Chains A and B, each alone.
Chain A
């Protein structure tokens, strides 16, 4: 398989990383997750900076790690570009020397390559400067040029925008997206920021408790997170615990509802996006609830409803739509086609089936 295939477990004290996933070639995959989810460890495992207890890492059909065969390719022999969170620039060298560091070949060729990268990253005239004297955005571009100059099979980026101020960030995200798209790079980017991931990624992966609980196209993941942890990570607020499942019907202390398909017995939660919920003035329709608060957020209005058992639902309506006053009793309708059953990603084996399998793994290693 072209791209990055990881099937590995790694133990670091109390923390265990257990990931099985295939990341397709030629696109940006953002790995989302809270702190301690194992995002950075996954990147470091792919780069060879951490050693797995058991497993395999295969990149573009080339095995980099296979513990069964005692194969471990050291980081210096892996074709990988790694952009560190704080960039890890060599401050004792010039910007040009930083970019040239990983380049091989005759001096003239290296010099020309550095000039091209300086121009490409809008760093002309800064080649002789020390990286210490550059701004955050410029340092980031030096780090990106240095990582890409060796033409790596995969570019790994650990929180590349965490040191950048808000107003600069969107420009830099656009620049980065253009560079990696133009060159059709395979990129894995770790972030805890959902809007960054949304802005740059073709695919989204979500990690929780050392496991990859969801991986898929960005739109697909935002529409159907499938795992409870993934829903939390991408900011879903409307999550109701499921206690029982019977055919198409599922329910909990908050009430019950019918889906348009048989519900999985593993469904532990249901989730729904706030703009998908309908509010009926008649409390007999849908789930009976009380409007607790109405808040204005620019073009949208947020209505907070409280169900009979005290569970909270957030509903979004356009600013000019009619909204009920706080204290009103209403019926909240969760349309079946928009309700998403969610499994507990970190505890169920189902999660492994929800990420792309490494189908040609065995052939690649044979």
Chain B
């Protein structure tokens, strides 16, 4: 593979894996947050929103400590799978999931909160199971929120730098994603390579965001709420 393409492919792989994991975690979490009357809801919401405000280096530092060979999560992982989490691709996926969680959960939660709950109850009284109700009634009504969550989760992972650098380091082919490769090229004063890679990132992010801002007012409103 072209040396310049490896970080690009790695970034796409990282974003796709992160998004897949985040949808599995984010859909039930967002549903719970939207429906619950639990007194713990504000606490969970605040924790979920932390990555929005914390500097990536702070988040990266804590992740490095927890996921590293001395941290309890890192030790548990090494005991289970025989290899460390830090400075590996898997470690990057775990860190990215935590870093991008609010970008997936918040649009989904907003969409679920706006849902007409009577339609969910109607589906149940018509004999549909919960999974069927979720697939045929909830998700179609929350499709704008789902698309927003996918695009933001994916694009945000592609664009991250600080957390990736702290947890993954800069190992070509393993943890050297696009943003890190650009930084390295700039440090080596190879502005031409940095420029072409930066352009790749700009085009990729633009193409990802474009569908969000076309046509749908609902999606735009969700987006404004998340990015506000």
Contacts and interface: CB of A to CB of B under 8 A. Distances in A.
Contacts of A76: 124-130
Nearest to A77: B127
B121 A75 contact: yes
A90 B119 contact: yes
Given A92-B140, A92-B141, A84 B126 contact: no
B16 interface: no
Nearest to B119: A88
A295 B122 CA distance: 48
A288 B137 CA distance: 66
A150 B140 CA distance: 23
Contacts of B124: 48-49, 74-76
Contacts of B130: 76
B116 interface: yes
A22 interface: no
Contact of B126 (A48, A49, A86, A101): A101
B123 interface: yes
B118 interface: yes
Name the interface size band of chain B. 10 to 19
A88 B127 CA distance: 15
Nearest to B130: A76
Interface residues of A, number: 24
B131 to A, nearest CB: 11
B128 A102 contact: yes
A86 B118 contact: yes
Given A90-B137, A92-B141, A84 B127 contact: no
B139 to A, nearest CB: 10
A80 interface: yes
Interface string A74-95: 1111101110101011101100
B127 to A, nearest CB: 5
B126 A88 contact: no
Contact of A84 (B122, B128, B140, B141): B122
Given A76-B127, A101-B126, A49 B140 contact: no
B125 A82 contact: yes
Nearest to A143: B122
A47 interface: yes
A253 to B, nearest CB: 49
Nearest to B118: A88
A146 interface: yes
B128 A47 contact: no
Contact of B128 (A80, A88, A101): A101
Interface in B109-165: 116, 118-119, 121-130, 136-137, 140-141
Interface of A: 47-49, 74-78, 80-82, 84, 86, 88-90, 92-93, 101-102, 104, 146-147, 150
Interface of B: 116, 118-119, 121-130, 136-137, 140-141
Top 4 closest pairs, chain A to chain B, by CB = A102-B126, A88-B118, A82-B125, A88-B122
13 contacts: A48-B125, A49-B121, A75-B121, A76-B126, A76-B130, A77-B127, A80-B125, A82-B121, A84-B118, A84-B121, A86-B118, A88-B121, A88-B122
Given A86-B118, A147-B125, 15 more contacts: A74-B124, A75-B125, A76-B126, A76-B130, A78-B125, A84-B118, A84-B121, A84-B122, A88-B116, A89-B122, A90-B123, A90-B137, A101-B136, A146-B126, A150-B126
